Structure 1
């Protein structure tokens, strides 16, 4: 006799439905990428699309989606223009994580109003029209605590939607996926607690497959959060297409009237715009938009060096198709010309309209064109230093040697994830500066061996003066920012007799270069020190302003900066790695020095050496006798027949990916005539500044 005899069949069917529904939360679906999930399930809602229909990703969107769903890539930064479908990709990604992967998510919009509008106009229509979402979101039509403007509770996961202006909106959230939409519209510092991407990233700690997606149209150069993240990416990619004639890959570039490739324009005799084409950089073939659409399907994303491809399937390969390990941090840049819904002719018309206004003194339209069409940050009022100009003024004096007027050695240190870098600067009366040395110590700063090597360097490094005597570094300032502050505190505490200072840079409302201090404790190598060293705060903007003003001194003498011709091109690029950008805010005008490239350790080391000038009060009138004593100590002691200098050894600025030993020059006696272009008995030697 069956146990189910006499049971109503409709009840059995109801029990089966409930069991299937209940157990579905434990079911493991066959893994699919975001692209194929979207092809099968995603739908363009009438409220947020020109055409209500099923969705087929554009060619360039496929790799973007594949990277977002690749668990090996932890950070994805998308620097974009308008009209490239990023919002649709983001919506599909939310649905994919909720229905397919069952992962907790949080999406931050710039403000609370932006977050509310996104939920009403984008998210809720998607949850309504994408049928597969109903299986994981039973409350989609109900007024319920699981279905609010701030959170959507799915079966097995939750989505939170927040505004980004309040620090509280980043607290008490544990998630697997963090998304920041229109990052450049966020405050750079959220209620003095940190950058929004940093606060969002903290919510991922502990996740098995953490993922942070940041996308934005860039705004102002030097203040752009998406620019900063994009520049910090391990690899940066742009879409490339095959030339219809030569089959070589190249990106779509805006070009310019003096550029041999990029967009070019056809006009009639009256000057009216007739057509637009794109010149291939390899064969100068004039590709029309129709040609581009025909070859777009075979496109591939290529990194800046041109040696890594990112395919539609999200695979990273060599140019010959050999698989490569996925980078941890990927940056993607795409602009409007790749969109099949925008004509190249309309892009050109927008540009010339903006250009005409700019000629009249109104650059508002040009700024909008650069931001929203090209996907570039607008360079407003900026002050920059050119690396080639700095290198062109370099002088033929050897490194690791102190010229005649150089009387004191100061050292700035920077801490990186796989090395320490020290820049040694020589100082003379009147603030004259010389590049003396740049030392790199490779290794993990979490290991004591790295700091032992740094200690040996600061204790024993000697530099020969033109007079023949040797000098050691007088004082050192080392940055405690980053991931190893306790190691820096312990190092400075141990070497306080050598005048080693732990410092931390800050920009904003600064009073002076030496911007106060606090006593800190630390835990290092099993030792806890509650009464550790003093942490000195450096106003980096003001320190860099002082150095910049010295770069403007045109002739050798007080305030002049001397660069050795032995310094590498990379050293000069890092020295010119920042611009001082100005923007106008509701509170007034704000200006700060901001990196424009990933590597700027040389500039940071220099900045901390400038801070040492201030901390040591080198330019106080009461220091006059002290400078006199320094000069007395370096009076020439060699005769006129001293052994000449050996051939100089070039310095190599660190490539973080490939450790390289730094050559050292042994101490030696030097003849003063061979360290200057002037004669020994010149008035410059005896001058007292």
Structure 2
């Protein structure tokens, strides 16, 4: 029995949960036929629906599927909600009312039987299966019992890192891996939020991207209902304080093919006619075997609250709020009425425009205006990302290198500065970079990410050893305070558990980086500046293809409930290039380049005229050679090129004595040890 046939025959709607109680009629929402067919298809393992409100996803699809499985094909099923309140609300307002009025389910699940361990509010047991309601913020829930069927309600609100154990949705999907593909079913349904950040948008883009194409009653052509095709009269003689001269009651839909006008009744006839076609109205626009994705908006809905007049009124209210500087109502309209993600305008140039601003010079070469090198390093579990940037007057800067060193960052030898990824990093930090004027420059300041709790101890060990050898490196991590300055002196050592101790004074201190202000400066200001001059950021034309994409991977989005806007990474994007640029800026600010006067810059130029100080520096001209993990083998775009150095060679694992001390770092004088006069007298 198909899902549509089961819902017609057995499903009942409760007066507690529906405005039209009684026998369920799928003809009222005919677009669900295609969704039902995808859930029936054993070749489809994942069903995704990016939707608006009022499209019967919960009642017409999710509850029908759960009811049919309990009745005819029982198995273990898990439904995940963002919060505990949402799961309880679903049970009380949706699931239990359905069971109450559907005799075939009421006989299987005694929902009103008290003190029954098989009938808890979040765990319903029935023959050969169970139904479990879990929340995305509880690791025990999303990592517990295996099940062939898992469902996620509102993925955009789900926890992306549940108790530092990973993404809740990914952990839940892992529960299905022990079952064959023909038994597995992963179901996503939700309203999108922000473009580039929406989880349901990302899931839809990874599917076959089906769209519902209505059939024009006049010309017979098919198209997807779109808000831009809704028109209304804007010539009211008296202006309304909100609507202006618009007349929402005149709203009509215009066929983009023939220009015929549809009222609400005619529009729904176009929807119903499409559902009667062999494809049930759905057309795939991409190829993704085993993953069916559906996109649907409120314009298809025949419900009274979705009449075009009311939607126009809602849109005009949102437009007025936008003119007053509040885009929250327009975001809600785009998400909940159109069923589309809302695009936040970042003001950044497009990637193609940024790529055109690349400058013709080679990596590892410092341009003429660059006089001081600062390095930023980001630590991932399988690689180190590094940005080497040269700074000049007015904080104008030139990218010297952006690349990654691949390998297990948790592996360190007896000497943390040698061997593996850390030995390769040491070469880049202590080596010299050829200046366009002929001199060789070395990094003045270096900031390395130590904020990941899984790698912080390894980073601390490396930094302690590096500082002892005279390498000017700082362990850093993002500050929690959104108003924190880009650079600020640390207050206490991580080696001390109380103040006023030697460990607190001389131990390793972690620098707090004002990432919010740094990204405001980089993304909100400097990337928008073109040409040459103060504050401009330059990069070489042959920079790795993913550099600019990663650099622009974050957008400042409004906070929830009117909170402070925050920088947020787009879903599925990597942002190591941006992070390393933030750390490089932190390193430069620690050297006070933003406070340098002309006298300081002239002094930097004078240093370049003293090549004798730099004669023993190995000059870096290519990435050090490291052994890539198997998953990156053969991927030339990800770095890991062959080593090539000028001057004295740098080996992959130089002995401690081979590490040169940094010329700009002053070593502390030997500690004086006083002798007691009492012992001398004895």
Superposed, 1:278-427 pairs within 5 Å as 278-279=255-256, 289=267, 290-296=269-275, 297=277, 298=279, 306-308=285-287, 316=288, 324=289, 326=290, 333-339=295-301, 341=303, 345-346=308-309, 349-350=312-313, 353-354=316-317, 357-358=320-321, 361=324, 366-378=330-342, 384-387=347-350, 391=354, 394=357, 396-400=359-363, 401-414=365-378, 421-427=385-391
8 A Cα contact 2:125 2:131, kept in partner: yes
Is 1:613 aligned to 2:588, yes or no?
yes
- Per-residue CA deviation, residues 429-484 of structure 1 (Å, 9 max, x unaligned), is 44322223332567888999xx9468536625864321123446666656577897
Q: Which residue of 2 aligns with 1:129?
A: 101
Matched-pair contact (CA < 8 Å) for 1:204–1:211: no
Match of 1:528 in 2: none
* Cα distance between partner residues in 2 of 1:390 and 1:189: 34
Taking the aligned partners of 2:203 and 2:2, their CA distance within structure 1 comes to 26
Seen in structure 2, the aligned counterparts of structure 1 residues 301 and 611 have a Cα distance that, compared at 3 Å, is: farther
Q: Take 2:212 and 2:142, find their aligned partners in 1: how far apart are those partners?
A: 43
State the Cα deviation string for residues 33-75 of structure 1 (Å, max 9, x = none): 8667656654433432343224548565456567678899888
Question: CA contact under 8 A between 1:178 and 1:200: conserved in structure 2?
Answer: no
Q: How far off is 1:132 after superposition? A: 3.8
Provide the residue aligned with 1:216 in structure 2: 190
Aligned equivalent of 2:18, options 34, 49, 66: 49
**Alpha carbon RMSD of aligned pairs, Å?**
5.4
Matching residue of 2:427: 459
* CA displacement, residues 494-523 of structure 1 (integer Å, 9 cap, x when unaligned): 984666766655656564446869869xxx
Deviation at 1:549, TM superposition (A): 4.0
User: For residues 171 and 240 of structure 1, do their structure 2 counterparts lie closer, same or farther at Cα, with a shift above 3 Å needed?
Assistant: closer
Q: Aligned to 1:562, which of 532, 538, 544?
A: 538
Q: After the TM superposition, which residues 229-244 of structure 1 pair with which residues of structure 2 at under 5 Å, given as runs?
A: 230-231=201-202, 235-236=206-207, 238-241=209-212
SS of residue paired to 1:590? coil
- The answer to whether the 8 A contact 1:267-1:275 is kept is no
Which of 516, 532, 554 is the aligned partner of 1:541? Answer: 516
- Separation in structure 2 between the aligned mates of residue 459 and residue 33 of structure 1, nearest angstrom: 64
User: 1:665–1:173: structure 2 CA closer, same or farther, 3 Å change rule?
Assistant: closer
The structure-2 alpha-carbon separation of the partners of 1:220 and 1:274, relative to structure 1 and needing over 3 Å to count, comes to: closer
- Partner residue, 2:579: 604
CA distance in 2, matches of 1:144, 1:356: 53
**Structure 2, unaligned stretches of length 5 or more?**
237-245, 413-418, 496-506, 612-630, 648-682
- The structure-2 alpha-carbon separation of the partners of 1:229 and 1:359, relative to structure 1 and needing over 3 Å to count, comes to closer
Matched residues in 2 for 1:184 and 1:244: separation? 32
| TM-score after normalising by structure 1 | 0.64
Alignment partner of 1:265 out of 231, 236, 244: 231
Q: Distance in 2 between the 1:251 and 1:490 partners? A: 56
- Separation in 1, partners of 2:375, 2:66: 49
Q: Match of 1:15? A: none
Matches within 5 A, 1:453-492: 455-456=423-424, 459=427, 463-471=433-441, 485=455, 489=459, 492=462
Q: 1:239·1:334 contact (CA, 8 Å) conserved in 2?
A: no
Q: Does 1:277 align with 2:254?
A: yes
Hey, what's the Cα distance between the residues in 1 that align with 2:475 and 2:459? 6
Pairs aligned (count)? 568
Q: Counterparts of 1:92 and 1:420 in 2: how far apart (Å)?
A: 49
Deviation at 1:276, TM superposition (A): 0.8
Deviation readout 1:606-659 (Å, 9 max, x if unpaired): 223223335x4444879999866643343498xxxxxxxxxxxxxxxxx99993
Q: Which runs of 5+ in 1 are unaligned?
A: 1-31, 256-262, 309-315, 317-323, 521-531, 638-654, 670-689
Q: For 2:476 and 2:164, how far apart are their aligned partners in 1?
A: 19
Query: What residue is the counterpart of 1:682 in the other structure?
Result: none
Query: Using the alignment, how far apart are the partners of 2:554 and 2:402 within structure 1?
Result: 19
Q: Matched residues in 1 for 2:588 and 2:220: separation?
A: 58
Contact map agreement 2:319 2:330 (CA 8 A) in 1: no
- 1:593 equivalent among 563, 567, 582: 567
Q: Does the residue aligned with 1:434 lie in a helix, a strand or coil? A: strand
For 2:203 and 2:377, the matched residues in 1 are separated by 21
Residues 65 and 198 (structure 1), Cα distance of their counterparts in 2 relative to 1, 3 Å cut: farther
Distance verdict in 2 for CA 1:274–1:206, change over 3 Å: closer
| CA displacement at 1:78 relative to structure 2 | 4.3
Q: Give the 3 Å change call, closer, same or farther, for CA 50–145 of structure 1 in structure 2.
A: same
Q: TM-score, normalised to structure 2's length? A: 0.64
Equivalent-residue separation in structure 2 for 1:505 and 1:55 (angstroms): 54
